[in-house]
Amino acid sequence: MLHDIDECECTVEYSADEIKGKATKMDYKGNGVYVCPKCHTTVDHSEYTFKIRVKLVMNGSYKEAMIVGGDERINHHWYDDVKYMIIKECIEDDINEGELEDWLTNHKAGVFDIELYYEPTTSVSEDGTEYGLECAIINERESLGGA
């Protein structure tokens, strides 16, 4: 599912020679908040968790995702100084360009309410700045409201 953000390492023992145990899967409480069932550590990823309504439609021989609703934050810009980066458009483009390829390819058409973890990342390497993305569906259900 998500890369490490839904796991707690309270059950892992580190030593100079070895690593014992494995990470504990955290319980999802909603709105980007996870709680460890063992140590009760709470991790809040609400800044990067969006509730969206997605309509999946056939467009010729492939499916296309269109965001037809969601929480108000998706209509804002990622950064105040970069006015062309509206969150809704970024998410829609990334879904259609393959970030959730398995989900998009194998999913039935329809309208779905989704909680999406979506965090743009940057790192600097010897070759320069690299841009990445952490994108995963946390929860999904078929929409009762339609599009």
CA atoms within 13 A on the CB side of 146: 0
Contact 10, 41 (CB under 8 A): yes
Residues 6+ apart with CB under 8 A from 20: 12, 13
Residue 81 reports pLDDT greater than 50: yes
Residue 53 reports pLDDT greater than 80: yes
What average pLDDT does the structure give for the chain? 84
Q: What is the mean pLDDT of residues 83-106?
A: 85
Q: Which of the two residues, 80 and 33, has the higher pLDDT score?
A: 33
Contact 122, 82 (CB under 8 A): no
From the DSSP assignment, how many helices (H) and strands (E) are in the chain?
A: 2, 13
Residue 33 reports pLDDT greater than 70: yes
Proportion of the chain in helix, strand, coil states, percent, rounded to 5: 20, 50, 30
Q: In the chain, what are the domain boundaries?
A: 7-44, 46-142
Of the chain, the percentage scoring pLDDT greater than 90 comes to: 27
Cβ atoms within 10 Å of 118's Cβ, excluding its own: 20
Residues 6+ apart with CB under 8 A from 19: 12, 13
Paired tokens of 122: 């940057």
Cα–Cα separations (whole angstroms), residue 35 to 7, 51, 80, 125: 9, 20, 32, 33
